[in-house]
Amino acid sequence: MRRLITDAVLLPLAVASFLLSVGSPAAADTVCQVTDPETGVCLIWIEVPGNPGQPGDPGDDGPKDTGSGQACYWDGTAQNIHKPPPGPVPCSSEYGYWSNSYNCYIQLVDPQPPAGDPAWQGHEPGDGAVYRCYQPQTDIDIYIWSADPPPNSGAGPTPREVATLAIDQMNLSAINIGIAPKPGPGSIGIVGMPVWMWAANPDSHTVGPINASASAGGITVTATARLHRVTWVMGDGTEVICNGPGTPYKAEYDDRSSPTCGHTYQKSSAGKPGDKYTVTATSDWVITWAGAGQTGTIRLNGLTRAVEISIGEAQVLVN
């Protein structure tokens, strides 16, 4: 039997600390379409379908985008209720629509209580309205007065959408390219000699990790971003994928190969535009988010910078 309480109000609840993983029916990646060449920050993001892979082929490397999550969630921690644990709930039911703010299903009482009824909480009929607030997790059923209809969380943002607000605060950018031989006049590499690539002057905005939180629609999400990998397109038709920022080159390394991120050119850059290879470094990020009793993953790909380097034949340099 449900308990009917007419003189109580459920307080808005804090964000859940107990997290549930929520899957997505279809994976998608967020890819940068245009990167600011000066700052390395993305100017235009687009959504593209992810690669689900085939039997024997897992598809693209790394964690998959886990989707949007559910906009409506239950969290009883502010009421010291831990069973059931925080997690998503249907946004509508026979009891009305779900409100994250009130942590219950909302339904307008029809007909409205008569004047003087305790449910009006001292207000007169016509001044706002009385709503039924039913919490199936606890079987608590109460009347609440509200000047405006309580917010319908089913019409609000999803946790992923709130997570993107947090990501916006991070100012993620493409790496500053470190490469040996150095770009610029008077610097030339040699065919057959190791080339080193790395993230120069790394910080939380270029390689992570970096954290940020955002709130909207009764949902608060905390997101953590980490650089997943850097894809180097070397200009000679080869592509090198490095799982991390790479190792900076030092003079004492001489002609050793990079232990983490390197390449060896087999042809000179003669005949290329400006007699140089254009080298691009594209950063892929993995962002994990938590909030609304759920967790998820967002893939951000495509933050790109480029440099030009000269590669010559050894015999040309000797002559």
Convert the pLDDT of each residue in 86-106 to its tens digit: 999 999 999 999 999 999 999
| Same domain, residue pair 136 and 204 | no
307 plus 286 within the same structural domain: yes
Same domain, 28 and 174: yes
Rounded alpha-carbon distances, angstroms, from residue 240 to 98, 154, 171, 186, 188: 49, 44, 26, 26, 20
Please indicate, yes or no, if residue 8 is contained in any of the structural domains: no
| pLDDT surpassing 50 at residue 26 | no
Query: Are residues 226 and 295 located together in one domain of the fold?
Result: yes
**Which secondary structure element, helix H or strand E, spans residue 228, and what is its range?**
strand 219-233
Q: Which domain holds residue 35?
A: 20-69+157-318
Contact 98, 153 (CB under 8 A): yes
Number of domains in the chain: 2
- Among residues 113, 108, 102, 114, the alpha carbon closest in space to that of 140 is found at 102
Global pTM exceeds 0.85: no
Choose among 86, 119, 25: nearest CA to 294: 86
In the predicted model, is pLDDT for residue 309 greater than 80?
A: yes
**CB 260 within 8 Å of CB 199:** no
Mean pLDDT of 159-179: 96
Between β-strands 140-146 and 129-135, what pairing exists: parallel, antiparallel or unpaired?
antiparallel
Bridge partner list, 300: 30, 285
Specify the pLDDT at position 291: 94
Say yes or no: 170 and 119 in one domain: no
Answer whether 194's CB lies under 8 Å from 311's CB: no
Residue whose entry in the numeric block shows the structure tokens 């070397």: 234
pLDDT band at 299 (very low <50, low <70, confident <90, very high): very high
Residue 155: CB atoms within 10 A of its CB come to 11
**CB contact set of 74 (below 8 Å; sequence gap of 6+):** 84, 86, 87, 88, 89, 103, 137, 293
Is pLDDT of 59 > 70?
no
Q: Confidence class of residue 122 from pLDDT cuts 50, 70 and 90?
A: very high
Same domain membership, residue 256 and residue 242: yes
Residue 74 per-residue DSSP state: E
Residues 92 and 49 in one domain: no
pLDDT tier at 314, thresholds 50, 70, 90 = confident
3 found inside a domain:
no
Residues 86 and 63 in one domain: no
Virtual torsion, Cα 252, 256, 261, 265, nearest 10 deg: 120
Q: Which of 155, 185, 200 is the last residue of a domain?
A: 155
Examine residue 132 and state whether it is found in any structural domain, yes or no: yes
Same domain as 165, residue 59: yes
106/90 Cα distance (integer angstroms): 13
Question: What's the mean pLDDT in 154-165?
Answer: 94
Q: Please state the rounded mean pLDDT for residues 210-214.
A: 98
Confidence at residue 21, expressed as pLDDT on a 0 to 100 scale: 28
What percent of the chain clears pLDDT 70, i.e. is strictly above it?
85
Q: What percent of the chain has pLDDT over 90?
A: 73
- Residue 318: what pLDDT? 46
- Token couple for 296: 């998820």
Q: What was the pLDDT predicted at 27?
A: 53
Highest mean pLDDT among 40-54, 59-73, 238-252: 238-252
The region of weakest confidence among 25-34, 88-97, 150-159 is 25-34
Same domain, 129 and 78: yes
Query: Which whole number is the average pLDDT over 183-201?
Result: 89
Q: Are residues 86 and 145 in the same domain?
A: yes
CB 223, CB 300: distance < 8 Å: no
Quick check: is 286 in a domain?
Answer: yes
Q: What pLDDT digit, counting tens, does each position of 231-284 carry?
A: 999 999 999 999 999 999 999 999 999 999 999 999 999 999 999 999 999 999
Does position 57 have pLDDT exceeding 50, yes or no?
Answer: no
The predicted model gives 212-223 an average pLDDT of 95
Largest CA distance in the chain: 103
Residue 184 has pLDDT above 90, yes or no: no
294 and 212 in one domain?
A: yes
Query: Which of the listed residues 137, 155, 173 is the one where a domain comes to its end?
Result: 155
Please give the helix or strand (H or E) that residue 286 lies within, else none.
Answer: strand 277-291
Least confident of 20-29, 187-196, 218-227: 20-29
Q: 1 lies in a domain? A: no
CA distance 227 to 290: 18
Residue 2 lies in a domain: no
- Range in 7-16, 153-162, 185-194, 292-301 the model is least confident about: 7-16
Query: Which residue among 123, 139, 155 closes a domain?
Result: 155
pLDDT band at 50; cut points 50, 70, 90: low
> Of the ranges 66-70, 163-167, 288-292, which one carries the lowest mean pLDDT score?
66-70
Give the separation between CA 107 and CA 95, rounded to whole angstroms: 6
Check residues 133 and 83 and name the one with the higher pLDDT: 133
Establish if 10 belongs to a structural domain.
Answer: no
Residue 234 lies in a domain: yes
* Count helices and strands in the chain by DSSP H and E runs: 2, 21
The mean pLDDT of the chain is: 86
Say which residue, 290 or 62, is predicted with more confidence.
290
Give the neighbor-by-neighbor strand order of the sheet with 140-146.
3-5, 140-146, 129-135, 104-108, 96-99, 92-93
- Taking alpha carbons only, the member of 51, 297, 26, 3 closest to residue 167 is 297
